[in-house]
Amino acid sequence: MRSHYCGDVNESLVGQTVTVAGWMHRRRDHGGVIFIDLRDREGLVQVVCNPEDAESFAVAEKVRSEFVLQIEGEVKPRPAGSENTDLRSGKIELIAKRVEILNSSETPPFPLNEQAEVNEDIRLRHRYIDLRRPEMLQKLRFRSMITRQLRQYLDAKGFLDIETPILTKATPEGARDYLVPSRTHQGEFFALPQSPQLFKQLLMVAGMDRYYQVVRCFRDEDLRADRQPEFTQLDIETSFVEEEELMNLMEEMIRDLFANVLEQALPKPFPRMSYAEAMDRFGSDKPDLRIPLELVEVSDLMKAVDFKVFSGPASDERGRVAALRVPGGNELSRKEIDDYTKYVGIYGAKGLAYIKINDISAGREGLQSPILKFLPDDVVEAILQRTGAQTGDLVFFGADKATIVNEALGALRVKLGHDLNMVEHGWKPLWVVEFPMFEWDDKTQRWYALHHPFTAPRVEDESLLETDPGRCLSRAYDMVLNGTELGGGSMRIHKTELQQKVFRMLGISDEEAAEKFGFLLQALKYGCPPHGGLAFGLDRLAMLMTGSASIRDVMAFPKTQSAACLLTDAPGAVSDEQLKELNIRLRKLPGAEA
């Protein structure tokens, strides 16, 4: 139906007759001549319909925005001075010989030929039009290139692309599982996988050696933080390796990706940072290293001050007092500081103390702060010295449980970085390593796995598992890029006894473990090789690489934050007949009382 894509018609074709097909992007009538910009996936071409060619001209007069046209015409150079250097086809135009309307179009719900902010709900409802915008098309195209590049790398390294089930085992505690009632096994349910973790481990037991899969995963949870009920992982697992080899391979893959797809160089090697250091310096296990602000530990200085807000957390084993110097922050207004105080409140911080440095050479006189009166000279001096504060700076303080201080100042650090235009350009990847195995939860009074229960402890820490679990570090690693966790993984437990020990630590009884993970424990008994792997969030990677604001922008048909598809109107009602066949019924009818 065409000899060339619109965007591919260029000066090399001058004098030839070509056929193009696409959408009527823009039309201008000028001096009795109709100019049509015809658009397809590859770009635009300008078509000239002269009144002398009565038949084509008559058709051209009828076309409206987004009509689908097939046009045959001769390629001619544009008249001198009318070239468009923004277009690949900008040096030529097509003199129409035949214009055919392949399909008409109603006026689209939002214009495609101008830059306009369109409400996202409308875009999602008419996604097939939204995706026509060159920006969106390029994002999906780019995503396709990313996946291809990653696959090529892994294929070349001997990884096998193996598919794992989507209809998997439901477990009584899988609170975030999507469930699927079984028709053949009435009263029983499948679950959609949150990840193929156990299947990929079983593939290692099976001797596949190197596995990958670009795989859909599902999580039924609050979608606040730009999450989607279904998302895509690049899932990887290997046998007979240790973390060093795997991490090197993985960062090479990502470097290759950026080099080939973006033509941008990432550092070699990626810097590494322990979890402890990341929390100390950035209050986060996924620090954005583009932001030149750091938390500074001042707990030791605050133990003895006569200010409970500081001395309390400073003296508490689980407390922390930290400072965050903001260069030039002196210029922040009262209102701005109030807003930041509210902001850290989201993370549980009860306040946000600060010192403004008006004149560093003037001693206490040069400082301005509601809390200054509580701090003796030597403490003030030590703070200034340790933070490196200069005239014009401001120093924020966080004092609370360490988890709260880290979350609050960590988030504040990022916000300040953006608000004050301090974010450096470029890509700042790093590996975060030496995660703790467990996290204590005060509310439920038990340990939780920081990664997942299949993560191996460091060999030298195995003895801490039972004696001092909080200090037991794991063989987990996260790849972080510009403050986003790109991927994470670990070396796995490959022996039954150790796996059982970890389950028990997590409050999973042997009985419960057998019911939920019996097949894994069984598999570990039959010659499981040492293995490890990781998973990358493909949506997030594509979002970062395309500079998108949301993962919704790199998905063809995303769902809204309430997990609905505005385009197809899913989820929807089903007939009682269908539910009957599945042996389920609704507890409460829509609109009815309980």
**Which residues are annotated as part of the binding site for ATP?**
219-221, 228, 485, 537-540
Which residues, numbered 489-508, are part of the site for a second copy (CB under 8 A)? 494-495
Which residues, numbered 102-131, are part of the site for a second copy (CB under 8 A)? 102-106, 108, 126-131
Tokens of 321: 């007092």
**CB-wise, 208 or 305, nearer to a second copy?**
208
**CB-wise, 180 or 423, nearer to a second copy?**
180
The stretches of 230-356 forming alpha helices (DSSP H) are 243-257, 275-282, 299-302, 308-315, 334-345
* Alpha-carbon span 530 to 533, nearest angstrom: 11
Contact 191, 171 (CB under 8 A): yes
**CB-wise, 111 or 312, nearer to a second copy?**
111
Question: How far apart are CB 253 and a second copy at their closest, in Å?
Answer: 16
Contact 491, 475 (CB under 8 A): yes
Which residues, numbered 133-152, are part of the site for a second copy (CB under 8 A)? 137, 140-141, 143-144, 147-148, 151
**CB-wise, 173 or 331, nearer to a second copy?**
173
* Alpha-carbon span 302 to 304, nearest angstrom: 6
Kindly state whether residue 438 participates in binding a second copy, applying the rule CB under 8 A: no
Candidates 158-166, 359-367, 379-387, 500-508; binding stretch for a second copy (CB under 8 A): 158-166
* Alpha-carbon span 100 to 40, nearest angstrom: 16
249, 380, 450, 564: residue in contact with a second copy (rule CB under 8 A): 564
* Alpha-carbon span 461 to 471, nearest angstrom: 8
Question: How far apart are CB 224 and a second copy at their closest, in Å?
Answer: 12
Q: Read off the DSSP letter of residue 315.
A: H
* Alpha-carbon span 106 to 60, nearest angstrom: 16
* Alpha-carbon span 480 to 123, nearest angstrom: 31
11, 83, 220, 339: residue in contact with a second copy (rule CB under 8 A): 220
Which residues, numbered 66-105, are part of the site for a second copy (CB under 8 A)? 66-68, 70, 102-105
* Alpha-carbon span 570 to 496, nearest angstrom: 43
- What are all long-range contacts of 562-569, with beta carbons under 8 Å and residues at least 24 apart? 562/223, 563/220, 563/223, 563/229, 565/124, 566/121, 566/124, 566/125, 567/124, 567/125, 567/126, 567/127, 567/128
Candidates 202-210, 272-280, 334-342, 405-413; binding stretch for a second copy (CB under 8 A): 202-210
Candidates 196-204, 285-293, 326-334, 359-367; binding stretch for a second copy (CB under 8 A): 196-204
Cis ω on the peptide bond leading into residue 327 (within 30° of 0)?
A: no
Residue 55, burial from CB neighbour count under 10 angstroms (0-12, 13-18, 19+)? exposed
**CB-wise, 446 or 495, nearer to a second copy?**
495
**CB-wise, 185 or 418, nearer to a second copy?**
185
34, 59, 202, 355: residue in contact with a second copy (rule CB under 8 A): 202
Mark 232-261 with x for binding to a second copy (rule: CB under 8 A) and - for no binding: x-------xxx-------------------
18, 27, 36, 40: residue in contact with a second copy (rule CB under 8 A): 40
Tokens of 40: 């397809």
Kindly state whether residue 582 participates in binding a second copy, applying the rule CB under 8 A: yes
Candidates 73-81, 113-121, 161-169, 374-382; binding stretch for a second copy (CB under 8 A): 161-169
Q: Which residues are annotated as a binding site?
A: 173, 219-221, 228, 451, 485, 492, 537-540
526, 547, 549, 593: residue in contact with a second copy (rule CB under 8 A): 526
Which residues, numbered 19-38, are part of the site for a second copy (CB under 8 A)? 21-23
Kindly state whether residue 162 participates in binding a second copy, applying the rule CB under 8 A: yes
Kindly state whether residue 153 participates in binding a second copy, applying the rule CB under 8 A: no
Which residues, numbered 448-467, are part of the site for a second copy (CB under 8 A)? none
SS (H, E, C) 437-478: CEEEECCCCEEEECCCCCECECHHHCCHHHHCHHHCEECEEE
Kindly state whether residue 360 participates in binding a second copy, applying the rule CB under 8 A: no
Kindly state whether residue 570 participates in binding a second copy, applying the rule CB under 8 A: yes
Report how many residues bind a second copy under the rule CB under 8 A.
126
* Alpha-carbon span 431 to 274, nearest angstrom: 8
* Alpha-carbon span 373 to 394, nearest angstrom: 17
Contact 168, 191 (CB under 8 A): yes
Question: How far apart are CB 478 and a second copy at their closest, in Å?
Answer: 23
Which residues, numbered 170-189, are part of the site for a second copy (CB under 8 A)? 170-175, 177-189
Which residues, numbered 541-560, are part of the site for a second copy (CB under 8 A)? 555-557, 559
**CB-wise, 86 or 569, nearer to a second copy?**
569
Closest CA to 206 of 151, 162, 141, 145: 162
Cis ω on the peptide bond leading into residue 429 (within 30° of 0)?
A: no
**CB-wise, 84 or 182, nearer to a second copy?**
182
Question: How far apart are CB 73 and a second copy at their closest, in Å?
Answer: 16
Q: Which residue has the tokens 């409308």?
A: 122
**CB-wise, 380 or 565, nearer to a second copy?**
565
